[in-house]
Structure 1
Amino acid sequence: MLSIIDKYILKRYLATFALMLLLFIPIGIMINLAEQIGKMIDNEAPLNEILLYYLNFTIYIGNLLFPIFLFLSVIFFTSKLANNTEIVAILSSGVSYGRFLRPYLIGATLVAVIMFFMNMFIVPQASIGFNEFKFKYLKKGKKDRVTSNIFNQLNETDFIYVSSFDPARQIGQNFTFERFDSLNRLKFKIAAANIRWLDKDSTYRLTAYKKRTILGDTAIIESKRRLDTLFAFDIGDLTPVSYVAETKNLYELDKFIEDQRRKGASNINTYILVKYKRWALPLTAFILTVIAVAVSSVKRRGGMGINLAFGILVAFVFIFFDRVFGTLAEQSGFSPLLAVIIPNVMFGLLALYLLQKAKR
């Protein structure tokens, strides 16, 4: 059963966190609108799509900033408790520091559960609309995917390659398709100057088509100026958009990563990093809550301002380490698992140190 103190602190915890979201997300929307309104007008973005974009923006950005908002809100209301000597009164009544911390951990659990379900099911859907609008109207003409030197393994025997791909025109240059047998011997190879998807006929058009079929020691060469044919792959799968992992829910993401690993995707670490960050985000809520309580539960001469300043510094340092290790995982082959674990372990140890210091 929750005591009166538990209910009091938990109510303040959740109310301050909700207030922080309600205050800062509209500010974020206004800042974004002020920056992007010119592009929206120039690219003639419809009003209904703009409204939908900002609904998705609220979910997408709110989820990213959940831990920071949580951290600052705990510092804010706990500092008020400390300045009003309420914490001194609670601890002087015989309540241990660990017992005092319990409602904070209950609040962190509630927020962590919300963050988990949002991350796994709601945010991926919002990410689709958010990113599609961004590249359609706000970053028009900019690449939203890798478009050069694309290699994919379709299955155990089939491999495709294009030197470059134009997603707007759905044309790939210097296309090759290779099929091997169970002994890893080449059965045939198709080469073309370019491959183009014909949406009207649901076929592929190969220009300067050439096929070399291997039959024992004999090679049969077939060539045509142009050939319309079928392949068992979607041309859009040649180059998934850079944010594709963000758009997959809990079950879709695991399957997508397996498919990309089988295909030999060069940016597989980016997708794995997204998966691990989703699982780690709820844990981050606990770590930041403990740090915030430990820092702000002690009454200081500078009052709430000192605590908030320290909190903002810690938040920026956390984001810095998170980005550094994330970039290492995406670009240098560093383990995505370690990229997620290291910042959380570092700040977990900091949380334990600050907690022990606060108890004394």
Structure 2
Amino acid sequence: MSILTRLLTRQFLGRWLGALLALTILLQLLDLLDNATDVLARGGGGLGILRYTLLRMPSSAERLIPLAALIAAVLTFSRLASGSEAASLRALGVSGHRMVACLLPACFVVAVAQFGMTNFLVPATQRSYANWWASLPNAPAEEATRVWFRAGPDVASADRVRDGGRLLEGVTIIRRDASGHTLMRLDAAAARHGTEGWQLQDVRERGAGDAGPALRGSMAWPDAPTPRNLLAIAQPIDGVSLPQLRRILDGQEEGWRGTSFYRSQLQERAAALLSALVMVLLAFPVSRILPRRGGGGVSLGFAILAGLAFVALAGATGALGEAGLISPALAAWTAPVLFGCLGCVLMLHLEG
């Protein structure tokens, strides 16, 4: 690694960490202004506010990583331009392409950090937050919400999920054939998961066209999802870990949202790894500012507006993809490819 690469990498990462920390603290303070009263009302106390902040902070930081990369890139290139270092580097034959290439290790570090937070840290802290929030002493009683899910080829529902997903109350199972036609309906007072798997209790069976139900007592339920999967369906969170995402897409686990959401998530997480590089390309015109001639506000303003537009477009297309309105690949890669090409064109134009 060259001296220039080490210098730019250190400057970029230092500013990125500082910007990410500052933005995250600001967002958390705003969040606390809205929710500190609720934490205290639920009996969390002062330690509860601290725990609330720590559990919510990774989710806030993960969303702010691209903006922090934009700020870091703008400040890095601005520092090179204001000290005439960029002009000196060009005089020594260091092209803009090489300056951007010197920041590739820093972009890689940001991508690794984003990958780890999005796929592992954020889902874990969101699940911990959901469990803790529901277990506070003065938490209001949960309203009964019927949960629907697939159990093998069948469709099932439960009135309530208890005991960490190991007990279901008010279970209904719609048995279907290979064509999706209803064969029979099973109604059970409860379903419990034990050492022998799932057991339905007080089962009533109603076949298609039967006049009345037939009592079956108890019976095994081998096609039911795992207790952890049922708990995730009953208490859904926004974050999904990468292993869980793969299991849902492979049909090994049930999700709590449509298939298009998980397919888009997989594409978006791959595309998000390029966000830091895109921000560097969009901020490159700042390095061409000549302090003595002025006019730097145009380049600086363009870099900031282009970076914000990139984040906005990525969010908008991602929402369309998760809703199934456009293909997951188009939703995830439109913004990175479009703004990445824009940054490359500007760099080539400025280098020409």
TM-score w.r.t. structure 2 length?
A: 0.78
Aligned residues: 340
Query: In structure 2, do the counterparts of structure 1 residues 128 and 77 end up closer, same or farther at CA, with 3 Å as the change threshold?
Result: same
Opposite residue 58 of structure 1, the aligned amino acid is M
Q: Is residue 338 of structure 1 aligned with residue 293 of structure 2?
A: no
Residues 66 and 279, structure 2, Cα contact 8 Å, conserved in 1: yes
Residues 178 and 190, structure 1, Cα contact 8 Å, conserved in 2: yes
Q: Secondary structure at the match of 1:259?
A: coil
Q: For residues 87 and 144 of structure 1, what CA distance do their matches in structure 2 show?
A: 62
Q: Identify which range, 281-290 or 332-341, moves more after superposition.
A: 332-341
Question: Paired residue for 1:73?
Answer: 72
What's the CA shift string for 1:129-167, capped at 9, x where partnerless? 244456777xx779999x56x6533224x33256xx455
Q: Which of 179, 182, 188 does residue 175 from structure 2 map onto?
A: 179
Q: Secondary structure at the match of 1:94?
A: coil
Give the C-alpha shift of residue 330 in structure 1: 2.7
Residues 119 and 240, structure 2, Cα contact 8 Å, conserved in 1: no
Map 1:14-93 → 2, pairs under 5 A:
14-93=13-92
Q: Identify which range, 116-125 or 74-83, moves more after superposition.
A: 116-125
Q: Which of 213, 231, 238 does residue 221 from structure 2 map onto?
A: 231
What's the CA shift string for 1:87-124, capped at 9, x where partnerless? 11110122222222221122112222232233333332
Q: For residues 259 and 304 of structure 2, what CA distance do their matches in structure 1 show?
A: 33
Q: Identify which range, 27-36 or 294-303, moves more after superposition.
A: 294-303
Q: For residues 35 and 122 of structure 2, what CA distance do their matches in structure 1 show?
A: 22
Q: Is residue 212 of structure 1 aligned with residue 206 of structure 2?
A: yes
Q: For residues 310 and 96 of structure 1, what CA distance do their matches in structure 2 show?
A: 21
Q: Which of 345, 348, 352 does residue 353 from structure 1 map onto?
A: 345
Question: Paired residue for 1:127?
Answer: 126
Q: For residues 272 and 83 of structure 1, what CA distance do their matches in structure 2 show?
A: 45
Give the C-alpha shift of residue 343 in structure 1: 1.5
Q: For residues 348 and 18 of structure 1, what CA distance do their matches in structure 2 show?
A: 23
Give the C-alpha shift of residue 341 in structure 1: 1.2
Give the C-alpha shift of residue 298 in structure 1: 3.1
Unaligned runs of 5+ in 2: none
Residues 72 and 308, structure 1, Cα contact 8 Å, conserved in 2: no
Opposite residue 310 of structure 1, the aligned amino acid is F
Question: Paired residue for 2:7?
Answer: 8
Residues 67 and 288, structure 1, Cα contact 8 Å, conserved in 2: yes
Give the C-alpha shift of residue 70 in structure 1: 0.8
Q: For residues 197 and 357 of structure 1, what CA distance do their matches in structure 2 show?
A: 67
Query: In structure 2, do the counterparts of structure 1 residues 144 and 98 end up closer, same or farther at CA, with 3 Å as the change threshold?
Result: farther
What's the CA shift string for 1:307-335, capped at 9, x where partnerless? 55434422332232122222222334422
Q: Which of 134, 149, 152 does residue 149 from structure 2 map onto?
A: 152
Query: In structure 2, do the counterparts of structure 1 residues 172 and 276 end up closer, same or farther at CA, with 3 Å as the change threshold?
Result: farther
Give the C-alpha shift of residue 66 in structure 1: 0.9
Q: Identify which range, 50-59 or 177-186, moves more after superposition.
A: 177-186
Q: Is residue 240 of structure 1 aligned with residue 233 of structure 2?
A: yes
Q: For residues 227 and 45 of structure 1, what CA distance do their matches in structure 2 show?
A: 44
Q: Secondary structure at the match of 2:155?
A: strand
The percentage of aligned residue pairs carrying the same residue is 21
Question: RMSD value over aligned CA atoms?
Answer: 3.9
Residues 53 and 129, structure 1, Cα contact 8 Å, conserved in 2: no
Q: Is residue 329 of structure 1 aligned with residue 321 of structure 2?
A: yes
Question: Paired residue for 2:94?
Answer: 95
Q: For residues 236 and 75 of structure 2, what CA distance do their matches in structure 1 show?
A: 34
TM-score w.r.t. structure 1 length?
A: 0.77
Query: In structure 2, do the counterparts of structure 1 residues 297 and 142 end up closer, same or farther at CA, with 3 Å as the change threshold?
Result: farther
